[in-house]
Structure 1
């Protein structure tokens, strides 16, 4: 599978939270968010906790639990927004799911390129 470089932005990281506080990001800044996202993609702990909370955990698509132990995420503040660079071989469906758990719909995909 090809490694992709995702370029994301978050308009207001201070208020970006997923809908369910059990899974939502609760850090204080760009470095905390990058670490949380990187960890969420490197192992399946967040996915497993979310899956266990579903009404029928066995019906959850197992492919959403895919991981990339070498995923890399960095984030920095730029023009009142947070820019996130993510390099991973995970498909967008998995990246999107983890982002929604962490920060809801508060993010935007700005660009995607082969890493």
Structure 2
């Protein structure tokens, strides 16, 4: 069952993860939405992260789940970026991707059925 996640990046300029090669590079709401959508639809971000781990073979493979039908829309209001992600991925997978992309610089505002 798909869910709709309402996410906020309070400051788009600060919304960067700890590892620059995994982090958002976007500027603007639509670009952030495109990068998150790609991270949910494909496993490339997860695989890059997995290979950086001390023992990549021990990483929980369920964190690499993808949803080819995931959609993300984004709006910018001054520095704040609002994203709405619709996906069948579990919340823990979405949160893991957001931590890679934005570090601690994001908020999960609400979750509803899609």
Q: What's the TM-score once normalised by structure 1's chain length?
A: 0.95
The alignment of Structure 1 onto Structure 2 pairs a total of residues equal to 114
**Aligned partners of 1:97 and 1:23: how far apart in 2?**
12
Quote the residue 1:93 is aligned against.
Answer: 92
- Cα RMSD of the aligned pairs, angstroms, is 1.0
List gaps (5 residues or longer) in structure 2. Answer: none
Runs of 4 or more consecutive aligned structure 1 residues displaced over 4 Å after TM superposition = none
Query: Take 1:39 and 1:56, find their aligned partners in 2: how far apart are those partners?
Result: 25
Q: How do 1:20-59 and structure 2 match up within 5 A?
A: 20-59=19-58
Query: What are the ranges of 5 or more consecutive residues in structure 1 without an aligned counterpart?
Result: none
CA–CA separation in structure 1 for the residues paired with 2:41 and 2:22: 16
In structure 1, the residue matched to 2:107 is 108
* Matched position secondary structure for 1:22: coil
TM-score for both structures, normalised by structure 2: 0.96
Contact 1:14/1:29 (<8 A) preserved: no
SS of aligned partner of 1:84: strand
Q: Distance in 2 between matches of 1:80 and 1:14?
A: 7
CA-CA distance at 1:78 after TM superposition? 3.1
